[in-house]
Amino acid sequence: MMLKGIPAAPGIVIGKAFCLDSEEFIVTERHISESEVKREIARFKRALEQTRKEIIEIQGRIAKEMGRGHAEIFNAHLLVIEDTMLIEEVVDQIQKQRFPVENVFLKVIRKYISVFSKMDDEYLKERISDIDDVGKRVLRVLMGKKRRTLQNLKEPVVIISYDLSPSDTAMIQKGHVIGFATDIGGRTSHTAIMAKSLDIPAVVGLEDITKHVRNGDSVIIDGIKGLVYINPPEDVIKKYRVEKKRFEEFGKDLLKLKDLPSRTLDGHRVVIAANIELPEELPSCIAHGAEEIGLYRSEYFYMNRSDLPTEDEQYEAYKLVARQMAPHPVIIRTLDLGGDKFLSQLEIPHEMNPFLGWRAIRFCLARPDVFKIQLRAILRASVDGKLKIMYPLISGVEELQQANRLLNELKEELRRKRIPFDEKMEVGAMIETPSAAMTCDLLAKEVQFFSIGTNDLIQYSLAIDRANEKIAYLYAPTHPGVLRLIKRIIDIGHQAKIRVAMCGEMASEPRFALLLLGMGLDEFSMSAGSIPKVKHLIRSVRFSDAQEIAERVLTLATSREVEEYVLSKVKELAPDLIEATYS
């Protein structure tokens, strides 16, 4: 069987499936005797009590660390286990049907979920995830289970899952997870981005792969074309072994460019930098020839832990990255939570539109207590190398001024305390909302550089959720509307004499890189694995040709025409890239 999804991270793997979401609660169908009924009811009440304690404990921790508001979502969870109708129904069914409590409880929970999902009421629909969450928690207590996690995997596996949260992905141990495939997600969802960073071939947005794969099935992940084969026949496996070798050899060949400059045939120089989520990725960035770190997604430092990182912990991490890259710059992007990135323990309240919600700089400005700790840590580490700072999701001048005001207050405080920091540390803004793109002349007065975040800029300008596989076909970096915004940001940045970088995924695709080069982009930042092919492209073309290509593209009316045109140009200028990446 073969399924088609969205290619998220290139490469080919052949391996055994590990179904992460198959948190199957297999319950026995055995009847219990009359004398066991009382015992089962008592077990049920104890499990409810224990679950209640667990929830209250988590709630207390979150209230302490993130404030009461955040802890409130757990009230809904408490309401579920305190629901007398639900409790009475389970007790009643144990007595009448004479099945063990796990069996009865699972059926009752499933019935609730089914009834709620048919209702028109949005509020009740939203309660489904609370019921599901609490239901699983109670079942785990009853069955003495722990959730299957990606830690401590014993052999290399391909993960098959409905979804992987960015915090799940951050827990992946390289070598043990050799590929993954998920039901949902888009090309620029953070799960896909993380897969690229870890160099793990992945396909997302397969819709129902979890229904077709069982633990231990043999699977092929083709992260180049976005295909997954389940229990493939020998001839398909053979063909893929050859493809895999060819792809990997081409990758090795490109690595020879590692120490060569990113310069066009006619001498135009650009910078190719790396995006990282975790400091552990630095050796790979250096091995792939990254000249700088153009985006350090600092929020990953906050994930997979039950408390917030202290100033000293952050200082140590930033210092390490600064030192390892010195004298080359490292751009630390301040905390960008929300959207599809949540803290595993400290949850942001559930929102109807998380990508339009309380995220990134909005969260940080509303929580200066959290934000200041990070800013102070970055400032202190700035003497250990060349750090720069940039703010995510800026939507207008006020936010930028507010953030800079906080930064200046902290600088003042450090000066008073005679704590050294880099007085010349550059500050930049991510341009990833249409309003920022339209006001970039004003924003340019407040910062020393721009970094275009196309992952978000595209989703906001085309009104397409970047993580939704159903509309992924509309997510077009080559949409004329997007291209005009990008051109405007580059031109206005240059008029204001500031450098313009791009750290969205668009910069990592050779065919788009050709276009961006022609538009005048100064810096291309991407996951380490993408660097060699973009460098190869840059070194294979003339800047003057790229400029002509960009000019022509800006006259085209549809994204399809743009795609076809740039692809034909890459075919002409760097044919080997096409063979290896798009065949």
Instruction: Single out the residue of 336, 384, 522, 523 in contact with ligand PEP (rule: CB under 6 A).
Output: 336
Say whether 19 is catalytic: no
Task: Examine residue 277 and tell whether it contacts Mg ion (CB under 5 A).
Answer: no
Q: One of 19, 364, 440, 503 is an active-site residue; which one?
A: 503
Q: How many Å apart are CA 40 and CA 36, to the nearest integer?
A: 6
- Min separation Cβ 528 and Mg ion, Å: 19
Is residue 339 a contact residue for Mg ion (CB under 5 A)?
no
Distance CA 147, CA 139 (A): 11
Instruction: Give the closest residue to 553 by CA, choosing from 513, 498, 496.
Output: 513
Near ligand PEP by CB under 6 A, which window of 81-89, 450-458, 479-487, 549-557? 450-458
Alpha carbon of 422 to those of 378, 383, 414, 415, 567: distances in Å?
A: 10, 5, 11, 11, 44
- Partner interacting with residue 209 (select from ligand PEP, Mg ion, none; CB below 5-8 Å by kind): none
SS3 8: strand
Decide if 125 contacts 119 (C-beta within 8 A): yes
Among 297, 479, 535, 536, binds ligand PEP (CB under 6 A): 297
Q: Are 525 and 295 in contact (CB under 8 A)?
A: yes
Q: Establish if 509 lies at the interface with ligand PEP (CB under 6 A).
A: no
Smallest distance, Mg ion to C-beta of residue 402, A = 19
Q: Considering only 233-241, 375-383, 456-464, 473-481, which stretch makes contact with Mg ion by CB under 5 A?
A: 456-464
294 binds ligand PEP (CB under 6 A): no
Residue type, 420: P
The verdict on 186 binding ligand PEP (CB under 6 A) reads: no
Q: How far is the CB of 453 from ligand PEP (least distance, A)?
A: 3
Catalytic residue among 190, 288, 479, 536: 190
Query: Which of 489, 514, 440, 572 lies closest to 270 in space, CA to CA?
Result: 514
- The answer to the question of residue 504 lying near ligand PEP (CB under 6 A) is yes
Query: DSSP states of 309-358 as a string?
Result: PPHHHHHHHHHHHHHHHTTSEEEEEP---BTTB--SSSPPPP-SSGGGSS
Distance from C-alpha of 508 to C-alpha of 494, rounded to nearest angstrom: 22
Taking CB within 5 to 8 Å according to partner kind, which of ligand PEP, Mg ion, none is near residue 504? ligand PEP
User: Is residue 407 within 8 Å of 365, Cβ to Cβ?
Assistant: no
Check if the beta carbon of residue 220 is closer than 8 Å to that of residue 240: yes
Is residue 456 a contact point for ligand PEP (CB under 6 A)?
Answer: yes
62 contacts which partner out of ligand PEP, Mg ion, none, CB within 5 to 8 A by kind? none
Q: Which of 11, 166, 453, 518 binds Mg ion (CB under 5 A)?
A: 453
Q: Which of 168, 222, 281, 432 binds ligand PEP (CB under 6 A)?
A: 432
Instruction: Name the region of 361 (left: φ>0; alpha: ψ -120 to 50; beta: rest).
Output: alpha
Closest separation between CB of residue 295 and ligand PEP, Å?
Answer: 6
* 271-276/227-230 β-pairing: unpaired
- CA-CA distance, 455 to 447, in Å (whole number)? 21
By the rule CB under 6 A, 461 interacts with ligand PEP: no
Give the residue, chosen from 444, 503, 570, 577, that forms a contact with ligand PEP under the rule CB under 6 A.
503
Query: In the range 421-450, which residues lie near Mg ion by CB under 5 A?
Result: 432
Active site residue 190: yes
Say which entry of ligand PEP, Mg ion, none residue 530 contacts (CB below 5 to 8 A, set by partner kind): none
CA dihedral 131, 134, 136, 140 (to 10 degrees): -160
Which positions lie near ligand PEP, rule CB under 6 A? Answer: 193, 295, 297, 336, 432, 453-456, 503-504
What residues are labeled active site? Answer: 190, 503
Residues binding Mg ion (CB under 5 A): 432, 453, 456
